[in-house]
A and B are shown apart, each in its own frame.
Chain A
Amino acid sequence: MSLEFLNAFKFIKKKSIMHKMDPRSKLVLSLIYTISALLFNEIIPLFFIFLSLVPIILLGKLFKQWIKSIRGLSFLIIFIVVLDTLFISFSFAIAMIFRILTMVSAFSIFFLTVDPNDLALSLISMKVPYEFAFSFSLAFRFVPTIAYEAQNIIDAQQSRGYEMQQKGLINQIKNLFPLLIPLIICSIRRAFNVAEALESRGFGSDKERSYYHTIKYSLKDWIFTFYSLLLLSVLIYISIGINYNFMPEFLTWSLPV
């Protein structure tokens, strides 16, 4: 088994308009896309919201990584299809797939284009205390490290006869312990090490700090934010329109099953 798909959320430095954008404007965009996806239950609007993300992904040169993150979702998608078809309808399942795709894509745009360091800075600019902002960005910094460690643990256990595939749900859950326990223990150990390393470098000794990097909300960020807000208001209008029946019929089209 490989944990390749975790790379889908790993920040890689690239030169693109999306990468140069201020983290805050990208956060606004991701949040607005998430809210918009929650506004609708119908296939057509959700499909178009999803489609409108594609140019942004292409602008950020993220296509390959984005496909990877979508592939990582395949299990969840199957789960949604089965459950929704069983309890509601297949049409609703399709709509929910577009909803989850939109939400995941929006946030993968955010995490793929925001440097973890800038993330801390943007949180601080939103008046989040430095300690929290730092631990937040530290958590993201360690995602690939933990993925790497998990792979090593899988390798080490397999080398002594551990088998990944097991029959039966209970056995499968039991089978996770040899992987999860070392992973948790190693993570706790590392957390203590990091804390000691930080303290020995004087973390938190002064209230005021200075920053080497700074972030700036430029004109294109304002344009981008304006676009996001415009999109949200249009979508809210359409959503109200669907509820009060003054929108064209095709928007509420659904599959017969």
Chain B
Amino acid sequence: MKNKIEMMQEIKDLPVVIFNEIGYSYPNGTEALKDISLNIFKGELMGIMGKNGAGKTTLIRTLNGLIRPTYGSIYIENENISSKSIATLSKKVGIIFQNPFHQLFANSVEEEIKFSLKSLNLHKEEIQMRVDQVLQEFSLEKYRNRSPLNLSGGESKKLALASIICRDPEILVFDEPTLGQDAKEIEFFINLIKKERKIGKTIIIITHNVEFAYDYLPRTILMADGQIISDGPTKKVLNNEFLIKQTSLILPQIRQFSIALQQTGYRDVEDVLTKNDMINYLSNLIQHKASNI
């Protein structure tokens, strides 16, 4: 019995994406990626952070072959992707780009989603089923026959998301999903990634939103000048003041708060990393003070 669990564990721990020392230079000579080696495991939820121009978007574009690395190789599910077409790779890797208006073109919301499903060689019933399912999941049913161009900003972003999710790719990649979204839309997105993760999807998110990453992403890599400068648990990576300064990010609020507390003399606040820990720490402190009086 134990053996079986161990085996399951091993399968789960196999990296689904392997970047093997890849690099990329643009045709004009700019070096966008340098010696990147990275393993991404199945079912992982990972953030990529860094300055604008650090190479984050270039890195994710290599995943479905939009950009082919100048040197090095990439393996997805143990297969080298260098000889695979973008069309084949897009079945495994779904990239959702920032601007939804770069892909919306159909006459209606329904057709927009059907277009995404067209290249999957599905039966008519299967297509209709998936369309209905995804429209319901994204609560876009009431817009079914509306033009995608008449949707509000948040809804068109949702539709762009839906048009990738309906293809059911194993690896989901989001380019700044929280940008310009209101609190409700961000909440919807968080629920979505939780749901996708439950069914075993690997999720990669590019973000500048420190609080979002800190609260929801277990692992984060930091990029600067085309290189990965840090890779590890988000709570560790984002609390490193030295690294944060290099990438023009700001420390998470909880960390800023604990630094402020430390400066006023509460030295033992050092390892308080989460909101819950902070609440516990503070309530302990208040109780302690109260009992002292």
Interface residue A221 (Cβ < 8 Å from any Cβ of B) = no
Interface residue A153 (Cβ < 8 Å from any Cβ of B) = yes
Known: A160-B167, A161-B90, A186-B102. A155 touches B61 (CB 8 A): yes
Chain B residues with CB under 8 A of A158: 64, 66, 86-87, 90
Interface residue A182 (Cβ < 8 Å from any Cβ of B) = yes
The contact string, 1 if C-beta is below 8 Å from chain A, for chain B 69-103, is 00000000000000000110011011111010111
For the complex formed, measure the closest distance between the CB of B11 and the CB atoms of chain A, giving whole angstroms. 28
Chain B residues with CB under 8 A of A153: 102-103
Interface residue B127 (Cβ < 8 Å from any Cβ of A) = no
Q: In the complex the two chains form, is B120's CB within 8 Å of A160's CB?
A: no
Q: In the complex the two chains form, is A189's CB within 8 Å of B90's CB?
A: no
In the complex, residue of chain B having the shortest beta-carbon distance to the beta carbon of A158: B86
Known: A182-B103, A186-B102. A159 touches B27 (CB 8 A): no
Q: In the complex the two chains form, is A159's CB within 8 Å of B101's CB?
A: no
* Among candidates B91, B101, B120, B163, residue contacting A185 with C-beta atoms closer than 8 Å: B101
Interface residue B118 (Cβ < 8 Å from any Cβ of A) = yes
What is the bound-complex CA distance between A159 and B119, given in angstroms? Answer: 11
Interface residue A254 (Cβ < 8 Å from any Cβ of B) = no
For the complex formed, measure the closest distance between the CB of A130 and the CB atoms of chain B, giving whole angstroms. 32
Q: In the complex the two chains form, is B105's CB within 8 Å of A182's CB?
A: yes
Interface residue A233 (Cβ < 8 Å from any Cβ of B) = no
Interface residue B149 (Cβ < 8 Å from any Cβ of A) = yes
Known: A4-B27, A163-B119, A182-B104. A156 touches B97 (CB 8 A): yes
For the complex formed, measure the closest distance between the CB of B55 and the CB atoms of chain A, giving whole angstroms. 16
For the complex formed, measure the closest distance between the CB of B74 and the CB atoms of chain A, giving whole angstroms. 16
The number of residues on chain B lying at the interface, defined by a beta carbon within 8 Å of a beta carbon of chain A, is 28
The contact string, 1 if C-beta is below 8 Å from chain B, for chain A 157-179, is 11111110000000000000110
- Majority-rule SS of A interface residues: helix
Known: A161-B87, A163-B119, A178-B115. A155 touches B105 (CB 8 A): no
Q: In the complex the two chains form, is A161's CB within 8 Å of B119's CB?
A: yes
Interface residue A152 (Cβ < 8 Å from any Cβ of B) = yes
Known: A158-B87, A160-B94. A182 touches B164 (CB 8 A): no
Q: In the complex the two chains form, is A189's CB within 8 Å of B66's CB?
A: no
Q: In the complex the two chains form, is B167's CB within 8 Å of A186's CB?
A: no
Chain B residues with CB under 8 A of A189: 101
* Among candidates B94, B104, B118, residue contacting A159 with C-beta atoms closer than 8 Å: B94
Chain A residues with CB under 8 A of B119: 161-163
Interface residue A149 (Cβ < 8 Å from any Cβ of B) = yes
Q: In the complex the two chains form, is B164's CB within 8 Å of A160's CB?
A: yes
* Among candidates B86, B93, B102, residue contacting A182 with C-beta atoms closer than 8 Å: B102
In the complex, residue of chain A having the shortest beta-carbon distance to the beta carbon of B88: A161
Interface centre among A152, A160, A163, A177 (most CB of B within 10 A): A160
What is the bound-complex CA distance between A162 and B120, given in angstroms? Answer: 10
Interface centre among A153, A177, A186, A189 (most CB of B within 10 A): A153
The 8 closest A-B pairs by CB, nearest first: A161-B119, A181-B105, A156-B102, A156-B103, A159-B95, A160-B116, A153-B102, A156-B97
